[in-house]
Amino acid sequence: MYGDCMKKTIVVLTFLVIGVMISSNISAMISPTFEDKMSIIRNEKLKDFQNNVPLIIDSGLYHTYDEMTELLHNLESNNSDIMSLTSLGKTYEDRDIWMVKISDNVSNNEDEPEVLLIGAHHGNEKPSYEVLIYFIKHIVQNYSRKNTDNDGDGEVNEDPIDGMDNDIDGLIDEDPSEDRVRDVTNNTEIYIIPMLNPDGVEAGIRKNCAPNYGPFGLSKEITSYGVDLNRNYGYRWFFLFIFPKFYFLSTSYDDESNVYRGEKPFSELETKAIRKLVSEQDFKICLSYHTYGKLIIYPWGYTKLPAKDKKLFESIGKDIKQINNYTLGQSVFLYPTIGDACDWLYGRKRVISYTIELGDSHAPSDPAILEEMSIRHVGVNLYICEKSKSLKIKNRGFTPFV
Ligand SMILES: [Ca+2]
Ligand SMILES: [Ca+2]
Ligand SMILES: [Ca+2]
Ligand SMILES: [Ca+2]
Ligand SMILES: [Zn+2]
């Protein structure tokens, strides 16, 4: 009797195990889950962090710092009614950190919702500044242009950049709207820092180029160069000491690491510049552009706990996803980090902040891929500007990190 019962149990269990294996395999084959996608990108990126070789690319496709500087000056002088260009300060290698402001009455600080767009925290992530340069050009080129039938089908602005085929002709976003550009420019204030880390861009490296004096700045000699600027923001800084294993490989206090976070919060000129700007302005939404992985990720990055505004992050995130077709989720599930811009912006001031991980590589060499990515994110940027107008969220009072 006992043996029979055992046999039956084993048979049932075997079928159960096989069933579970088959069904989970099938579901993995049908649609890779969020976690599957994340784990593939995670493994690639964590390996990438170990790689300190500068990124060398053919000239022409991507702007150099000097080319961008010249372009922005030209755009400003030809469009000074809606565009201003200011330096947020110098980097270690004496380059200006340029900030573009776009709005009507651009020299006034009007009572309009403010949006912040940042590129190139990491100097080897080329498209992260190109999409923003493209966006600036799109705005100034379309602002005073009359509504145009871009695709010559007799209708005007029938298919704006929103990821949808609005007029059901089989083409997507083929007739961008000049009115939309005007509306956003007239009714919001857009602050764009296309290249936060110009020293890193010129060197083709992730970090900036400032010297380090040991992990905590205690050495008299230079021990290495560069800080990962997107680990240098002052939020939950001490968690690295409390939970070192949780952040292993993605946030480091080893100054030679590619994800070295700096000797203390805001030790770097570039992050200091952002802190000052954010303390003076009242941003509603921020997009921080990076490469790669085709992701839209939002706080928290330091904990698996959900943010208070998780529902809002998800709902705005889904609208962004509609436009760029990226994967949406909480950033900790890519990998846990401390001191990234979005955790700090949201944690300190409740700015609704997303990291956009563009594309499949740090520097695609196909201009068509870059162009498509840029157009998509013109749509994303316009959308978050529009969204900022109806966003009823009270910013927290600014508390600088102590
Ligand atoms: Ca048009
Ligand atoms: Ca048309
Ligand atoms: Ca269409
Ligand atoms: Ca469309
Ligand atoms: Zn990055």
> What is the distance in A from the centroid of ligand 3 to the CA of 314?
27
Which contiguous run of DSSP H or E holds residue 114?
strand 114-118
Distance from the CA of 175 to the center of ligand 2, in angstroms?
5
- Closest ligand to the CA of 158: 2
Which two structure tokens, joined as six digits, stand for 301? 């990055």
Rounded to the nearest whole angstrom, what is the distance from the C-alpha of residue 310 to the centroid of ligand 3?
33
Question: What does DSSP assign to residue 140?
Answer: H
Find the mean pLDDT for residues 54-75: 93
Span from the CA of 157 to the centroid of ligand 3 (angstroms): 10
Structural domains in the chain, sorted by start: 40-388 (3.40.630.10)
Distance 396 CA to ligand 3 centre (A): 41
- Give me the amino acid identity at 385: C
- Going from the Cα of 315 to the center of ligand 5, the distance in angstroms, rounded, reads 24
SS3 35: helix
Q: Residue 101: which H helix or E strand, with range?
A: strand 96-102
Asked if residue 402 has pLDDT above 50, the reply is: no
If we measure between CA atoms, which residue out of 127, 180, 190 comes closest to residue 150? 180
- Residue 269 to residues 183, 250, 282, 304, Cα–Cα distance (Å): 35, 22, 21, 30
Ligand that lies nearest to the alpha carbon of residue 174, given by its number in the listed order = 3
Q: How far is the CA of 310 from the centre of ligand 4 (A)?
A: 27
- How many A from CA of 290 to the centre of ligand 5? 4
By the 10 Å C-beta count (0-12 exposed, 13-18 middle, 19+ buried), 238 is classed as: exposed
Mean pLDDT (the chain, rounded): 92
pLDDT one-digit tens code per residue, 155-201: 999 999 999 999 999 999 999 999 999 999 999 999 999 999 999 99
Q: Which ligand is nearest to the CA of 147?
A: 1
Cα 241 to middle of ligand 4, angstroms: 48
Alpha-carbon distance of 153 to 75, in angstroms, equals 31
Q: Distance from the CA of 51 to the center of ligand 4, in angstroms?
A: 39
Distance 169 CA to ligand 2 centre (A): 10
The continuous run of DSSP H or E covering 76 comes out as helix 65-78
| pLDDT digits 0-9 by tens, 226-245 | 999 999 999 999 999 999 99
Ligand 4 center from residue 74 Cα (angstroms): 30
Ligand 3 centroid from CA 168, angstroms:
5
One-letter identity of residue 109 = N
The predicted-structure confidence for 75-105, as pLDDT tens digits, reads as follows: 999 999 999 999 999 999 999 999 999 999 9
**169 CA to centre of ligand 3 in angstroms:** 5
pLDDT in tens, 373-390: 999 999 999 999 999 999
Distances in Å between the alpha carbon of 251 and those of 258, 271, 274, 351? 9, 16, 20, 23
Whole-number Å distance, alpha carbon 148 to ligand 2 midpoint, is 7
